Each structure stands twice: as structure tokens, then as C-alpha cells.
Amino acid sequence: MSVTRLTTLDLREMKQKNEKISMITAYDYPTAELIDEAGAETILVGDSLGMVVLGYPDTLSVSLDEMIHHGKAVVRGSKRAFVIIDMPFLTYQINSEEALRNAGRTIQETGGQGVKLEGGVEISEAVRKITQSGIPVVGHLGLTPQSAGQLGGFKVQGRDIKAARKMIDDALVIEEAGAFMLVLECVPWQLAQLITQKLSIPVIGIGAGKYCDGQVLVYHDVMGLYTGKRPKFVKQYAEARREMLRGVNNYMDEVRNISFPGEEHIFSMPAEALDALRDN
């Protein structure tokens, strides 16, 4: 049976019907396959790739080529989910023409369905230009890791009136510029609720409380695969690393004590062929 991909219209309809949208990150083929099979509506190829997969200290080092490389694998691994690919640092901030060129490359080369950009009014022209070309755009406000240096670190955003007002204004500007979805990261739940009510596009939260239209988490955090610092908003649903380590240790034990490979894993050759070889 052929499966069709969800569209921006399906996701908007989910908001209208009050149905929660689930989003989880993926960076490779088997993970995308698994998440798609589980039925997540959206998969994010986040630039968290840099930290959880590539071993960089932050997201700033991730290149467009790396995002495209991993984005392609995720698109190949999924059939139904709407795949969103993060645009890395400095691929959309310089000017809107460059932003469109890079967004176009991302969609053309990966086959993904949308791109995500971090920031408010300062990137609204890029959002407008990319959407006008027909590429679906997701905004990202609150704690935006690409500007963590400027924000003074990985802190809750929008706690005081001025910052909260600015976030509401930014959200409205990003929606007006054409974004079809917005991610809110690490903001007080009351502010996230207010923004979710004010916007007609779906708002997906991470550390933004339960009143958003959906939730996103990083796959490696969900599965217990990341050994770095875990933010307060993360909930771990599995102990995959422990299980994987157990598997690798068992394999190594069996290699050392020669219980692997067993009879069932080996190939044999006819006795005559072996005799002939030995005679020579």
C-alpha cells in the first residue's frame, strides 16, 4: 500500500481540531524508519546533529553539506512524516537571497518538505523570501541555540515583560512572513500558551509546557543515548545506551571466549575440495 506524506495543510488542520502534533529529531535512515513506523507526524533533522551525532561542542559548527547529507538519509528512511531540515548557522542570516539559495539547495538535494530557521524580526525577510518561493518554513523562537552566546547561555527566555512582549511580536512577524509552524524552546509555559492561542499556525514546544499544539524532543535524549548535559525539559523514555552497551560487551566476550561464531553462522566446503587443497 502506498503511503502519502503529510502536508502543511494536514498539520494546520490538526491544530484546528485540537489534535497534538508529535515531532522528534532523526539524523539517519534507520532512526527515520523507526520514527515513521511509530507514526510521528513530523521529523526534524535538527542541527543538534552537531552535538548528538557528530561530537561537536555546539550547533554552530554544523555545515549545510552535513545537514544535507543527513537530511537525505532521513527522507529515504521515512514515507509518511513531514521532514523538516534545520538551516545551519550563517546560511540564512546574511541576506534573504542567500537564505533562499541555501533553503532551495536543502529541499532540492534532500527531498525534505520544509526548513527551520531560528530568530524573530531580524530573519523575517528571509522567511518571506523562502516561503514566497514555495518552500514551507518553520520558525524557532525562545532559546535559539545558534545565538546562545548572545542570549548568555542556555537559559529560559521571555520571563520578564519586555522579553515576553518581544517574543509575542516576533512570533506574529514570523507568522505574517509566511511560516507554517513555529518551535518555541525553553520559555515559560504561560507565555507559550499565550503565543499558541494568538497564532493560527501550529506551535511546537520544547521546554514550553503542555499547551502548545505539539511537542518536540531530541531522539538521543528520548532514548537515553546522549551522554552530555540533559536539560530540565527532557524526559527520557528508554535506556537504549545501556542496552546497546550490553550488546557490544556480549559480542566482545563471545569473540574472546570463541563462542562466536557458532555452527549456525559459518559456511562449509565439500570434503573433496578440501582434500584436494590439502594434497597440494
DSSP 145-166: GGGHHHHTSS-----SHHHHHH
Residue 271 neighbours by CB under 8 Å, 6+ apart? none
Coarse DSSP helix, strand, coil percentages of the chain, rounded to the nearest 5 percent: 45, 15, 40
CA pair distance 41, 16, nearest whole angstrom: 15
| Nearer to ligand KIV among residue 149 and residue 261 (C-beta) | 149
Burial zone of 279 (CB within 10 Å; 0-12 exposed, 13-18 middle, 19+ buried)? exposed
Helix (H) or strand (E) holding 217: strand 214-217
Q: How far is the CB of 146 from ligand KIV (least distance, A)?
A: 9
CA pair distance 41, 190, nearest whole angstrom: 25
| Nearer to ligand KIV among residue 81 and residue 279 (C-beta) | 81
Q: How far is the CB of 105 from ligand KIV (least distance, A)?
A: 19
Q: Does 114 bind ligand KIV (CB under 6 A)?
A: no
Q: How far is the CB of 74 from ligand KIV (least distance, A)?
A: 12
Q: Does 208 bind ligand KIV (CB under 6 A)?
A: no
Q: Per-residue contact track with ligand KIV, 167 to 196, x per CB under 6 A?
A: ----------------x-x-----------
Catalytic residue among 37, 185, 239, 263: 185
| Nearer to ligand KIV among residue 44 and residue 161 (C-beta) | 44
Q: Reply yes or no on whether 41 is catalytic.
A: no
Measured CA to CA in angstroms, residue 210 lies from 3, 38, 147, 162 at distances of 30, 21, 25, 23
Measured CA to CA in angstroms, residue 55 lies from 51, 182, 226, 228, 237 at distances of 5, 27, 10, 10, 22
CB 113 within 8 A of CB 136: yes
Total residues interacting with ligand KIV, rule: CB under 6 A = 11
Q: Does 213 bind ligand KIV (CB under 6 A)?
A: no
| Nearer to ligand KIV among residue 153 and residue 262 (C-beta) | 153
Q: How far is the CB of 253 from ligand KIV (least distance, A)?
A: 36
CA pair distance 230, 29, nearest whole angstrom: 25
Residue of minimal Cβ distance to ligand KIV: 46
Instruction: Name which position in 182, 206, 222, 225 contacts ligand KIV (CB under 6 A).
Output: 206
Local structure of 95: helix, strand or coil: coil
Q: How far is the CB of 185 from ligand KIV (least distance, A)?
A: 6
Q: How far is the CB of 177 from ligand KIV (least distance, A)?
A: 19
| Nearer to ligand KIV among residue 181 and residue 206 (C-beta) | 206
**b/e for 93-109, b at 16 or more Cβ within 10 A?**
beebeebbebbebbbeb
CA pair distance 117, 171, nearest whole angstrom: 13
Q: Per-residue contact track with ligand KIV, 125 to 164, x per CB under 6 A?
A: ----------------------------------------
Interface with ligand KIV in residues 16-75 (CB under 6 A): 25, 44, 46-48
Interface ranges with ligand KIV (CB under 6 A)? 25, 44, 46-48, 86, 183, 185, 206, 216, 218
Residues belonging to the active site? 185
